[in-house]
Structure 1
């Protein structure tokens, strides 16, 4: 498969307001039967979007969840059918257990990994390496790929599938007719750190609630990594100017409130604050920068509860004006301020009215909130007119939320990467003669592990290219 060279660097950062650890795998005794007897975990798949001359390597772990020994165990790879749509990918991803006819046949056993006996409660690692041309992939598409453990039990000693995990393999033997363009948004947003109080000295030294922001700015911290990763990617920066103003204040003397709430102590983040701002100034050069209203106000709350509060909407206008001057003063670039981004891209008519009241003519929505109603058989371009000269920029919900959950776990991140690539490929296959612009807008403040996982799909997606 020919990789899309433009995707060597691409996109934004991911989903969710915080890294929410996935619930522990529930290996309940009642479910550890039949084709759910052994837990199969895929922890690595390379290359993520192979070409015919490649060798596909799939690694992971198998765990016997029963109280008996599995004998004659082997781990093999299965190629299932091509997916017939984006919903089919969702359905397959959530399916559990082995279903004959749906999970394909095992590839030649010479590529399988022999495990032998697998005692109760024990785990074994595996690694399968198979030339891609031995997968016998046909037409361009997204193929279901399964890793299964076959073996016998004391009650049923004959070979049978006792566990399976599915993922996806995007396949394209040649260039697509018209590649859909992926536009990535990269949010630099943080919580408010400065209190309303200031010291009583001549300089009115700011007082911070705590010094946690310094850790985020330091090498290895969340915000430091966001800038380090984003500087080489073709992205649109989406920045809360309050974060810039806060970090700028940290470059000078500042105080930190003691945990007891009584008294303050000197803050010590001056060096990392200066280094971070310097790195960000260089990173945004030549890139498009969008400034959210100062302190990123909750547009939904304003729309549903704040309209009757005197001065609430006028403060939004002021926050937008302050946003432009703050970004331009600190970063030396003139940002766009005609975008509004409601939390999670959730919109209704009231939110749109509030968002556009302060001068924003582009509202970043999400496809699970603002659905396409024209009966199209394909994913349409993101920009959609919503009246009054305003545009809804509808981000793709599946891609934008692809990396929710605990991406520090190899299994979760591997499956998320392949699913992201599968959905990207399917968008292109839906209407290969129609070039569309798709927006990926992960929201909130994603943790470092999830950011790193976002980089990898862009290096191999066969169906799309990046765009500002």
Structure 2
């Protein structure tokens, strides 16, 4: 079914019409712990695979970071780094302390990527500790034990110089009985943006916050006079119930300044649940009982998007797969006209259920992948803006940064380039639904 544009370096999209869309966060980078060098001996390798406690060197202690505030400090700020250290070795670590290592300035994406990939402590690339009173000490750290730390440092004592992104390392230095001298036993790296002067022009960004699910209604109704809608199963009720995936997305997004991206089919399905409905169970049907859950979820969504017409986007009804249609469906009689109808129905559905008029001139192809045929299909449905991944828009000028998101694509409409590197703005199980290949919230610049 679905096949996203096949570009070098991009994997095809899954064969589903409710395809996951991925993007990136403009801020933040992977926080990578030092990894262990595996011994060459097969026997030792097997033993080490079975017991992480064999860790040695700068992989002896695992460091995880919980928070860095503020993430982009200004003059006069004090940054606070907190997290935990865990002794993965077999011996107790003594005389230990956690300290910060700031620098050097990283010039461009290549340098940031290289720093993110580096493993273990490396003298030179990893600078000296800030030191002084800005450490947290542990007299001993027994094997397998974890301890929390929190270090606060005034920005003026970090010796930051020119604008840029600085490497920020958090390391644990200590001793073991086998090696009774101070050495770095663990390190974790992250990044600290620094710009002492205010920006002349601030970049405007928005989170695209999708509420999208699989198709739940069957192409049939009950045999009664009311033509009661029939659902394939009761999975949608689980998603919108307290703690469910869609309930969590709505709860998180309601407190954020985001752009809501809605599949009208989802709204219509939940709306159908607010009245009598049936659930298919083999050759029989049973009465649905989650009307109250459906009403509560829709009421919360309606209150959240009230008076936010500019921040509500409606995708074509049932989120059709533009790539599949562009590559395999254009020769099917009436396919493009049906796509246009899906956009028209989208607007009326959102207005009827949420009482807000959405924007319908956006297209969001699977995986954000575009090529001329996908853009042509998207515009046939009325879209004049296409949300695309940055690696769909090849930069030939050798830039080390993502240019302004609104970029021309051939002779077609502007494409808003969300970065191809993916972040996870919501944690826990939000990005790991096992029953549907759902989209993640995604950040996008001006366009």
- After TM superposition, the structure 1 stretch with the greater mean CA deviation from structure 2, 330-339 or 216-225, is 216-225
Partner of 2:269: 246
Q: CA deviation at 1:376?
A: 4.0
Residue by residue over 1:240-260, the C-alpha shift from the partner in whole angstroms, topping out at 9 and shown as x without a partner, is 1101111111111111223xx
**Alignment partners' CA distance in 2, 1:107 and 1:347:** 47
Q: Looking at both structures, which has the greater relative contact order when contacts are Cα pairs under 8 Å and sequence separation is at least 6? A: 1
- From 377, 385, 390, the equivalent of 1:367 is 390
The 5 Å alignment of 1:252-267 reads: 252-258=275-281, 261-267=282-288
Q: Which residue of structure 1 aligns with residue 297 of structure 2?
A: 276
Show the counterpart of 2:135.
112
Where 1:273 maps in the other structure, the secondary structure is helix
After superposing on structure 2, the runs of 4+ consecutive aligned residues of structure 1 that deviate more than 4 Å are 13-16, 24-28
Which residue of structure 2 aligns with residue 53 of structure 1? 76
CA deviation string 1:63-110 (max 9, x = no partner): 222233333222111112122113322222222111111111112242
Alignment CA distance shift 1:388-1:211 (3 Å): same
Residue number in structure 1 paired with 2:319: 296
When residues 119 and 283 of structure 1 are mapped into structure 2, their CA distance, relative to the original with a 3 A threshold, is closer
Question: How far is 1:223 from its partner?
Answer: 2.5
For residue 384 of structure 1, report the CA deviation from its aligned partner.
1.9
Contact conserved, 1:207 with 1:257, CA < 8 A, in 2?
A: yes
The equivalent residue for 1:140 is: 163
Give the CA deviation at 1:341.
Answer: 0.6
Residue equivalent to 1:422: none
The normalised TM-score by structure 1 is 0.76
Q: TM-score, normalised by structure 2?
A: 0.80
Conserved in 2, the CA contact under 8 Å of 1:248 and 1:273? yes
Give CA-to-partner distance per residue, 1:261-288, whole Å, 9 cap, x none: 2322221222222222233223222332
Determine the C-alpha separation between the residues in 2 that align with 1:125 and 1:235: 33
Residues 95-244 of structure 1: pairs in structure 2 closer than 5 A: 95-244=118-267
Is the counterpart of residue 287 in structure 1 residue 309 in structure 2? yes
Q: Which moved more, 1:280-289 or 1:205-214?
A: 280-289
Check the 8 A contact 1:237/1:287 in 2, yes or no: no
Question: Cα–Cα, structure 1 residues 45 and 385, in superposed 2: closer, same or farther, change >3 Å?
Answer: closer
Residue 378 of structure 1: CA displacement?
A: 4.0
Q: What is the root-mean-square deviation in Å for CA atoms of aligned residues?
A: 3.1
Name the CA shift for 1:407/1:88 in 2 (closer, same or farther; >3 Å).
Answer: farther
Contact 2:261–2:314 (CA under 8 A) maintained in structure 1: yes
In 1: Cα distance, 2:104 partner to 2:198 partner: 22
Deviations 1:338-386 (Å, cap 9, x if unpaired)?
2211111011222222222222222211102222224445422112222
Of residues 427, 431, 437, the one that matches 1:407 is 427
1:85 to 99, 108, 120: 108
Maintained 8 Å contact 1:15/1:444 = no
Distance (Å, rounded) in 1 between the aligned partners of 2:299 and 2:332: 40
Q: Is contact 2:308-2:356 (8 Å) kept?
A: no
Q: Who is 1:438 aligned against?
A: none
Is contact 1:15-1:403 (8 Å) kept? no
Question: Matches of residues 332-343 of structure 1 in structure 2 within 5 Å?
Answer: 332-343=355-366
Ranges in structure 1 where 5+ consecutive residues have no aligned partner: 1-12, 17-21, 413-442, 459-463
The 8 Å contact of residues 416 and 446 in structure 2, kept in 1 or not, is answered as no
SS in 2 for 1:181: coil
Residue 200 of structure 1, CA deviation: 0.7
- On the 8 A contact 2:171/2:184 being kept in 1, the answer is yes
Going from structure 1 to structure 2, the CA distance change for 1:244 and 1:123 (only over 3 Å counts) comes to: same
- What is the rounded CA distance, in whole Å, between the counterparts of 1:113 and 1:329 in structure 2? 58
Distance 1:118 1:229, change over 3 A: closer
Equivalence for 1:317: 340
Native 8 Å contact 1:234 1:467 kept in 2: no
Q: Is the 8 A contact 1:64 1:118 kept in 2?
A: yes
CA contact (8 A) 1:361 1:390 kept: yes
Does residue 43 (structure 1) correspond to residue 66 (structure 2)? The answer is yes
| Pairing 1:67–2:96 present | no
- What are the within-5 Å matches in structure 2 for residues 1-20 of structure 1? 15=22
State the shift of 1:229 in Å.
3.8
SS at match of 1:66: coil
* Cα 1:77–1:120 shift into 2, 3 Å: same
Counterpart-to-counterpart distance in 2, 1:252 and 1:393: 39
What is the aligned partner in structure 2 of residue 4 from structure 1? none
Q: Work out whether residues 109 and 400 of structure 2, in 8 Å CA contact, stay in contact via their aligned partners in 1.
A: no
* Higher mean C-alpha deviation, range 185-194 or range 120-129: 120-129
**Cα distance change, pair 160–69 in 1 and its aligned pair in 2 (3 A):** same
Count of residue correspondences: 398
